[in-house]
Structures are given as C-alpha cells and as structure tokens.
Amino acid sequence: MQPPLKSLDYFQKSYDIRVGQLKEKRVRGTKIIGTFCLFVPDEIIFAAGADRLVLCGGRTDTIARAEQSLPRNICPLIKSSFGAVVDACCGGNLSCAHVQLVDVVVAEATCDGKKKMYELLPEYLPTYVLDLPQKPGSPEAITYFLSELRKFGTYLEDLTGNAINEEQLKKEINSSNETRRLLHRLFDMRRCDPPPITGSEVLQVMQKQFFLSPDQFREGIRQLCEEMEHRIPPARSGPRIMISGCPMSAGNTKISDIVEKKGAVIVVEESCTGTRSFWDLVEEDKEPWTALAERYLRIPCACMTPNDQRISHIVDLARRYHVDGIVYYTLQFCHGYNIERLRVQKALKKEKIPLLAIESDYGDSDVEQIGIRIDAFLEMVS
Amino acid sequence: MITAGIDAGAATTKAVLMRDREIVGYRISGTAFDFLTSAEKIYDELLLASDIDRNDVEKVYATGYGRNSISFADRGISEITAHAKGVYFLFPEVRGIIDVGGQDSKIIVVADGKVTDFLMNDKCAAGTGKFLEYTAKALEVPIDDLGTLALASSHPAGITSMCTVFAESEVISLRARGIAKEDIAAGLIAGVAQRIMVMAKRMALTDHIAFVGGVAKNAGMKVAFEKELGITLFVPFEPQITGALGAAISAHG
C-alpha cells in the first residue's frame, strides 16, 4: 500500500468549508439550487448569480423512508434522494444537511423513475423541471432544448432577481470548461501504467464535483495533479478495469471498492461520476445558449434513444485507457442502463473486450456474491 | 508431483488428490458450520485412504465460496476458473459448462480450458439445488428420488412460480387438487431447467456442453436439459468434484 494522496484531504476539508459557505451565502440572499443531474447546466445557474449543489442520494439509510411513498422496485438512487428530501423536510435526522441548504430543486426529465419522483417533490420543496428531447441527434432537438434552457434562464432570473447577460454566461462557460480541462488532465494521467491514482480515490473526488464551488474543486484537482506527477505508483499486479454504467452518488462506493480490493485497478469510469460529467467542452466562440444546448445534449445518458454516441464512446475509452475488461454497473431497476447493456456488450464483443455485468443496490447483502463474480472476471481477463 | 484441490462449497465440501496429473482419490461431504473444519476433516480422510502423507503434498489450492477460510491452502482460485479447468481435464472438447450447485447456478463459456465468459445466478434460490430441495420436501419425496420420479411422468404439471417460497405452496395446492406426484416432480424439474436454459441461451451455448455440480446427479434434470437443447450432455463420473479437480490441476501449474 502506498501512502494516500495528501490532496485528497483538501477535498474533505473543502467540503466542511463549503457547507458553511453555502449557509452564509443563503443568509446573504443568494439562491441555492439543488440538482439531481448533469443535464442541468451549471453555467446558467452561476450566470444568474445563484449557487448549486447536487442532491443525488447514494446512502442506503434514507431508502426505507422513501419506500413509505414510492414503489420498492425503482432504483436506489431515486429512493435514496427522495428519502433524504422527505426526511429533511419532515424533521428527520437521517440525511446530512444538504437538503436544508437549498431554496429550490431544479429537476430534469430524464428517466421515468426520476420524472415521476419529481412530481412528488413540490409537496416538500419548490421544484422546477427542465425538459429534455430524448432523440438528441436532430436539429429540432437542439432548437427545442435551446428553448428549454432559455425558459430555465428566465425562471432563474425571476428567482434571483438578476438578469443573465451574455458576457456573464460566456465567463461561466469558460470557467466550467477550465474545470473540464483539468479533469481531462487528471484522467489522462490514469492512462499511465501503472496509473498514479486508484479508482476509489478518483471516485471520492468526482462525488464532490457538483457540491464544492468551482474554485474549490479546481484548486483541489490542480493540487491532486501536481502530487500525482511526483508519485511513483507501485507496480501493477491486477488487470486494468473500466467501470461503465450508472452514477455512483456520494455514499455509494461499493463496486469500485470491491473491484480494487480484489486486486484490479480502475483506470476510467464511463459514468455520471466519471467521464460523462466533463468529457465534452462547450464551444467558447459560439452564441453561448446554442453552444450550451449542443454540449449538454451530447451527454450520453441511457435515457436518450438511440444512444449510439455512448456505445462508440465506451469502445473509444476502452482503447484509450488500455483496459483489460469492463465492469458494467447498473443500479438495480435502472432499466435504461440495464437494457442498453446488451448493445454495449455486442459492440465490445466485436472488439474482443470482456464485460462483466453487475446489478446492485446500496445494501451490503450482495458484497460477497459480487466479489465472487469479480474474482472470476479478474482471473478471466488476467 | 502430488497436489490437492479443495472446493469449499456452500452446501458440500469436496477434495481431490492428484499425482502427476492423475486423480488419486476424492472425497465429498456436507459443509458443516465452519468451512475450515469441514475441509480439514475430509482432506485428512482422503490422505489416509490414499496412503499419502500430508507433507508429501506439494501444493494445495482452494476454490468455492469458502476458499478464503481454507488456511492450509497455498492459494485460492475462483470456482469459475476451477470448473473450467476440471471439466477441460475430463472433456477437452467441451465449449460450455452448466453448473448447478446447492446455492447457485453458473453458465461458463470456455475455449481450450480458458474461461471466455460466464453468468451466475446466486441472488435467490430459484434455479439452484435449494429450489429442488425445498419443493421436494413439500412433495414429501427424498431429494435423491425426485429425478427418477419425474422420469415416470407423462403429463408434467405446470409450476408457474420460480420463487422457492411460492413454489412450495404451489406444490401443496397441486397435491390438494390430486395431481400425481410424478407429474409435480416433473413440473418442478422443468421449471428449474427452463430457468437455467434462459441463462445458457443468453450465453449462446449450443453444443459440447458439460453438466456439473450436485444437481447433475439428478437424472430427470439431465433429461430435461437434453430435451431443451436437443443434444447429449457430458456428465462426469462424479459431477460434484470438477471444481476441486480444477483446483488440484491449477496447483500442479
């Protein structure tokens, strides 16, 4: 075991500072937006003078609370998120204070489970839903999404009392792009063999991406990259693995932890807590609203159809990161990613890249069974 | 070179001794509460029966669910790899393996003894030996007789539930309706077979398939699979030891 990366402490410390910062900002009248998805553009929120934090639930202890209202057979992320909102708004003490930090929730029309859960939220918190075209490839889709983004802008202007001007929006685009470039730098270093950072370490960082302020987050990534450049990682004994699939929200590190405990090293994550969050940049010398609409519709979420861009992206990543195998991770009852697995698997078979499909929830009851599969898979690809 | 393989399974523990890649002997016994004690016991028995001193065994490899508990083993390998190696030793031509054990079922795709893909069902008892064990109890038939009884059926009953708990009550209601025991037995076996066939077809297994694990001893089950696949399955002389055998072969290097 090599000593842990010191820069990771920065992220932990920043987390505490950030909670205080958000509380203070709110007192001073800044509107704080709770989000659940990558499709809600940070740039517009910041351009309106608001701030944001992600509310996606990765904890198991709020699920029982959610199941008092929601069906059991929907994904744990939806249940955990909803449970945290209900608990926080009904005087519970299960969830961390995140929900109490927000003024409104900006939701998005992605999967069915989330859409229907969002319909229940207004009882607890003011909720705005951003609509998404789900066949993203056409010019009409861009036009429609553009109109949705502008509507969202107007909503934020009304909420904050600040007008969004083009110059500010461009500044925010540059700022978000800078974060994306830094993440590219971090992820690029993982192409080395052996990589200077583990997947579990990267996950800790990525889970804070939309919680910390952009300045805090970038400073952390800069420090981390510096430290990694001077780190001599121990020789690699296990295979290079890529994780592909559902997000791993804060509180959920189960699969990455098992894979690396079994001796493999995760070199890239194709997920919302991985490449999907930063891969594409927003074009900077274009009309900003259009540039945003185009970039955000390129996020290869499984709620899109057909999602060919995701499949080719996975194959591309597998080559770029020299992976020995892919662990395809789906949250239990996440139909989008679960069904899409078959097309991904077929494309990978052609490329002779092995895939192991794991479906799991937030509980610990299947840790052993998953371990058995991972063991066998790692032996198979070694 | 003498090597040993221990398969610390959830339901049974198996041990195989090999000398220069030839099987010297094997032992199968129910797993008690403690994996290690069960393994120690049958390993000692096997050594004694084979007249081999423990110190003369150069390497011991463990596999199975409890492999990490086998402290006297030099290494642990996954049961997927172990079965593939064990089956390859017995039937080199095999391309696919159906393993139905007490607590899980697996489909393994192999090429020259190497695993190329696999699928496991172990989240619930459906499609495993446990399903047959519980439902046989509801039918009041010893588990070992269930397969033979099923072969006597001409009109297998339809068992619609694959949940072990619900299937148990389904058996009871079929009995109450006066359905013959052999027809219910055949229905149960067909149910498990269908469940596992879905996995096998998902893995595109068509021919040269071995059937291993405790449930492979069930004659009715073998017939049900063969009917479904339209082929003859390769079943080892002792279908429960392929995991331990594969571990002993791996230990040989």
Of A312, A223, A233, A221, residue with least CA distance to A267 = A233
Interface test with B, best of A338, A373, A378 (most B CBs within 10 A): A373
Domain CATH code at residue A62: 3.40.50.11890
Residues A120, A103: one domain? Answer: yes
Nearest CA in chain B to A373: B120
Closest Cα in chain A, distance from residue B213 (Å): 17
Eight-class DSSP state of B68: G
Give the number of other Cβ atoms within 10 Å of residue A71's Cβ: 11
Pick the last residue of a domain from A166, A196, A214.
Answer: A166
Eight-class DSSP state of A74: S
Given this model, what pLDDT does residue A89 score? 84
Residues B142, B187: one domain? Answer: yes
Using a CB-CB distance cutoff of 8 angstroms, which residues of chain A are in contact with residue B201?
A: none
Question: For residues B125 and B139, is the Cβ–Cβ distance under 8 A?
Answer: no
Cα A146–chain centre separation? 22
Pick the last residue of a domain from A166, A186, A210.
Answer: A166
Residues A145, A237: one domain? Answer: no
Residues A172, A206: one domain? Answer: yes
| pTM, entire model | 0.93
Residues B115, B204: one domain? Answer: yes
Bridge partners (DSSP) of residue B111 are: B114
Distances (CA, A) of A343 to A170, A326, B121: 38, 14, 21
Residues B110, B197: one domain? Answer: yes
Q: How confident is the model at residue B26 (pLDDT cuts 50, 70, 90)?
A: very high
Residues B75, B196: one domain? Answer: no
Residues A190, A175: one domain? Answer: yes
Residues A212, A266: one domain? Answer: yes
Q: Residue B193 belongs to what domain range? A: 93-235
Whole-angstrom Cα distance, residue B223 to residue B153?
Answer: 12
Residues A192, A182: one domain? Answer: yes
Q: How many domains does chain B have?
A: 2
A379/B78 CB distance under 8 A: yes
Given this model, what pLDDT does residue A96 score? 64
Cα angle A116-A141-A46, degrees, rounded to a multiple of 5? 70
Given this model, what pLDDT does residue B10 score? 85
Residues B101, B149: one domain? Answer: yes
Segment A216-225 shows an average pLDDT of 97
Residues B105, B218: one domain? Answer: yes
Of A122, A155, A116, A173, residue with least CA distance to A291 = A173
A376/B79 CB distance under 8 A: yes
Which B residues in the span 47-66 are in contact with A, Cβ-Cβ below 8 Å? 65
Q: Residue A29 belongs to what domain range? A: 7-166
Residues B111, B218: one domain? Answer: yes
Q: How confident is the model at residue B33 (pLDDT cuts 50, 70, 90)?
A: confident
Closest Cα in chain A, distance from residue B80 (Å): 6
* pLDDT tens profile B146-191: 999 999 999 999 888 878 888 888 999 999 999 999 999 999 999 8
A372 Cβ neighbours under 8 A, 6+ residues apart? B65, B78, B79, B120, B122
Question: For residues A292 and A282, is the Cβ–Cβ distance under 8 A?
Answer: yes
B224 Cβ neighbours under 8 A, 6+ residues apart? B150, B189, B190, B192, B193
- By percentage, how much of chain A surpasses pLDDT 90? 92
* pLDDT tens profile A48-95: 999 999 999 999 999 999 999 999 999 999 999 999 999 888 877 765
B115/A366 CB distance under 8 A: no
Q: How many domains does chain A have?
A: 2
Q: How confident is the model at residue A232 (pLDDT cuts 50, 70, 90)?
A: confident
Interface contact A342, partner B, CB < 8 A: no
Pick the last residue of a domain from A166, A197, A222.
Answer: A166
Residue B123 confidence (pLDDT) above 80: no
Using a CB-CB distance cutoff of 8 angstroms, which residues of chain A are in contact with residue B120?
A: 369, 372-373
* pLDDT tens profile A288-329: 999 999 999 999 999 999 999 999 999 999 999 999 999 999
Q: How confident is the model at residue B121 (pLDDT cuts 50, 70, 90)?
A: confident
Which B residues in the span 114-133 are in contact with A, Cβ-Cβ below 8 Å? 114-118, 120, 122-123
